[in-house]
Amino acid sequence: MSQGVTKIALAMAFAALLPSCFGAQVNSRPVGPVALAYNFTKPTPAPAATPQPQASLTVGQVASGQGAVEVRGFHEPPDWGHRNYCGAGATQVLLSAWMTEVPDIEAVAKASKLNPNHGEFGADASNAIDAYLNPFVVPALGQPRYKPEHLTTLDEVKARIQNDIVDQQAIMTFGHGVPMMVQTMTRTMPGWNHWNATHMITIFAFDFSHGDPALDTVTYAETPSPLAGYRGPDFQTISVKALWVAMQAYLREFPADPMNVIS
């Protein structure tokens, strides 16, 4: 094994221990905000003779056991210096539900105390979110809306997702529900080609109408560039069971940051 290959192997092994997104270089994606590509309405099994446009995403609860919040997607800059910015990218997605003008990724990273070599921690991400939202949220609610927590059961996570996204107080006060962030490991998540790193994502929609974790789903945004190892679309929908596998892996593999849910 050459010295260069040895260094790469060591770097990859070390990266899995960091509170960050980090991967191998592949082709790059565009940088900056992207159009919302998620549609809550599923296509019907029988296609119509003439394709019909699907209904637009509805804010709040759209059906029994379902809900969604409109967000925008963001891409992290495709360079080595931004390989660990998944927390800042996820925060931009979350803030886009609340703010017309979302701060750029560098401003969010600074507010989150992000270390470009290691990423950021859940409590710091939560503090940054509240710092941006408090000027108009605290006067309306009397307190910050987000806080980091350590949730250890799937039932707790499901309840938090549903309660936040269809939060009636938020919908009545601000005109939208509340997207939330969770911490995961990437090994079992789509688009990561089994690469394993700590990761933050923003969940903005759910379908719990089946009553079965293998069939119930959540939809979330992915912001890392291909340099960080992600090779999938801007928005992903996975089963609740798959989400919980990735979240449990985070609790098990990175106990240094127990704050695995920001809601």
15 has pLDDT over 80: no
pLDDT at 31: 61
Is 214 exposed, middle or buried, given 0-12, 13-18 or 19+ CB atoms closer than 10 A?
Answer: exposed
Q: Are strands 180-185 and 66-68 parallel, antiparallel or unpaired?
A: unpaired
Confidence grade of residue 93 (pLDDT, cut at 50, 70, 90): very high
Confidence grade of residue 81 (pLDDT, cut at 50, 70, 90): very high
Confidence grade of residue 10 (pLDDT, cut at 50, 70, 90): very low
59 has pLDDT over 50: no
pLDDT at 57: 40
259 has pLDDT over 80: yes
User: pLDDT tens across 19-45, in order?
Assistant: 566 543 334 455 656 655 444 433 333
User: pLDDT tens across 196-244, in order?
Assistant: 999 999 999 999 999 999 999 999 999 999 999 999 999 999 999 999 9
Confidence grade of residue 66 (pLDDT, cut at 50, 70, 90): very high
pLDDT at 22: 52
Which helix (H) or strand (E) segment is 73 a member of?
strand 73-75
pLDDT at 9: 42
User: pLDDT tens across 127-186, in order?
Assistant: 999 999 999 999 999 999 999 999 999 999 999 999 999 999 999 999 999 999 999 999
pLDDT at 36: 54
Biggest CA–CA distance in the chain, Å, is 61
Tokens of 42: 């599923």
Give the chain's radius of gyration (CA, Å).
Answer: 18
Which helix (H) or strand (E) segment is 70 a member of?
none
Mean pLDDT of 61-67: 74
Average pLDDT, the chain: 84
